[in-house]
Amino acid sequence: MKHGNHDGSGIDRKLHNPVEDRLTPLQPLDLTKVRSIDGLVRAMAKTAFTGRQMGEAADVLEAMARDEECFVVMTLAGAMTVAKQGLIITELIDRGIVNAIVSTGALMAHGLVEATGRAHFRYNPEVSDTELYEQGYNRVYDTLEPETNLDEVEEVMSEVLEGWDHADVMCSYKLNHAIGAYLAKHAKDQRGILKSAYEKGVPVFVPAFTDSELGLDVALNNRLRESTGRHKIRFDPFEDLEHFAATLLRQTRLGIFTIGGGVPRNWSQQFGPFIELRHRRMGENVPLKRYHYGVRICPEPVYWGGLSGSPYSEAISWGKFVPPAEGGKFGEVFVDATVGLPIIVAAVLERLGKDKSASKKKEKAAARK
């Protein structure tokens, strides 16, 4: 029998042997052999479609966590704290896997609700949004944030802001540090992102600060200060940018773990272009740095053209990431983060629990700050 094939065009094709071509064979997902979340994710990595993406992303996140010279930035968008994913982020901070946070302000505000011991609630679709407004319930898809929760958050913010020295220019990472300090003192029995970030020395940046409940609280406090003849608090977002850039410049390698996209992702990724522009346009003697690792969980498709759905390969063209040919490692998962995040993180924590890599990285991270 001939080992070629005639395709009707008059050209003979030589069919390759996949083993000789060293192709990677896939394997059926055998649930009878799965004994843990990590076992499931490892098995999914040998399948196809989103399952394979989940497995590959877990491998990259594990590599980031084990790399003692890697500083990991986690970016957060979407209603992740309303969706009760906050303790996953807290755990990543507590274990020293995440070294900086860049987030939407809303996500931090709703996380502050959790950190002060209050709850979010399941939405009843039989109740109209008009009725919800009258009752003081703010809807986030299938979940409710009672307005009374946000009033409680404002009380915390008022305590923090009333103690702020007007001579000290505010920016988001300074304010979040102060909120974390308040929580460490007054909410000792509660876990939360800002509390853990304060305790572990992890800076939390909110680039679009005024687009949040926290931003509105600062605006209201400034109006109160002005009405009582006191100095207003000055807010300078460029202090965030400079502190973020200075922090990343001190690191050997960089990793980014992105949930969703939006401003937190773009603001974090533009570090590379910012440093390059300082070098090229201003002649500064700064090392050109890009992200070496990247894990992204976001269901937005690329064809909408927005940054949330853009692949890491596109970001390489902007000088934001190290190309795979030069050692860059990336994992991208197109799935709801309330599904992808807990499974991927749980798998990686299982792996790290088998040795001391996480604790070593934690010590190194503390020494770098």
Question: Which of 299, 294, 298, 300 shows the shortest CA–CA distance to 313?
Answer: 294
276 CB-near residues (< 8 Å, 6+ apart): 288, 319
Per the CB < 8 A criterion, the answer to whether 358 and 99 are in contact is: no
pLDDT given for residue 369 in this prediction: 57
Distance between CA 293 and CA 329 in Å, rounded? 5
Going by pLDDT thresholds of 50, 70 and 90, the confidence category of residue 11 is confident
DSSP track, 146-182: EHHHHHHHHHHHHHHHHT--TTS-B-HHHHHHHHHHH
Q: 4: burial class by Cβ within 10 Å (0-12, 13-18, 19+)? A: exposed
Q: Which amino acid is at 155?
A: E
pLDDT at 230: 95
Binned at pLDDT 50, 70 and 90, residue 354 comes out as: confident
- 367 — pLDDT class (breaks 50, 70, 90): low
As a whole number of angstroms, the distance between CA 100 and CA 324 comes to: 24
- Checking if the pLDDT of 361 tops 70, the result is no
Phi, psi at 121, each rounded to 5°: -135, 155
- Give the end-to-end CA distance of the chain in Å, rounded to a whole number: 68
Q: Does position 102 have pLDDT exceeding 90, yes or no?
A: yes
User: What one-character-per-residue DSSP string does 219-279 give?
Assistant: HHHHHHHHHTTPPPPPB-HHHHHHHHHHHHHT-SEEEEEEES-HHHHHHHHTHHHHHHHHH
pLDDT for residue 171 = 98
Q: Is the per-residue pLDDT at 353 higher than 90?
A: yes
Looking at per-residue pLDDT, the higher value among 189 and 245 belongs to 245
Average pLDDT over residues 99-104: 98
Instruction: Return the pLDDT at 306.
Output: 85
- State the burial class of residue 341 (Cβ atoms within 10 Å of its Cβ: 0-12, 13-18, 19+): buried
pLDDT average, residue stretch 253-260: 97
Show Cβ contacts of residue 36 under 8 Å, excluding neighbours closer than 6 positions: 350
What pLDDT score was predicted for residue 135?
Answer: 98
For residue 72, what pLDDT is reported? 98
Work out the percent of the chain whose per-residue pLDDT is above 70: 93
Question: Which one, of 324, 255, 304, lies nearest residue 97 by Cα?
Answer: 255
pLDDT value at 109 more than 80: yes
112 and 366 in contact (C-beta within 8 Å)?
A: no
Report the pLDDT value the prediction gives residue 307, as an integer from 0 to 100: 84
Strands 100-103 and 70-76, by their bridges, are parallel
Is residue 123 within 8 Å of residue 110, measured between CB atoms?
no
What would the pLDDT profile of 209-242 be if each residue is shown by its tens digit?
999 999 999 999 999 999 999 999 999 999 999 9
Residue 356 has pLDDT above 70, yes or no: no
All structural domains of the chain with their residue ranges: 34-368
- The string of pLDDT tens digits covering residues 31-75 is 999 999 999 999 999 999 999 999 999 999 999 999 999 999 999
Instruction: Give 57-118 as a DSSP string.
Output: HHHHHHHHHH-TTEEEEEEE-SSTTTTT-HHHHHHHHHTTS--EEEE-HHHHHHHHHHHTT-
Residue whose pair of structure tokens reads 């608090």 in the numeric block:
233
Dihedral of CA 247/251/257/262: which sign?
positive
The top-level CATH class assigned to 34-368 is alpha beta
- Quick one: pLDDT at residue 13? 87
Residue that wins the pLDDT comparison between 357 and 335: 335
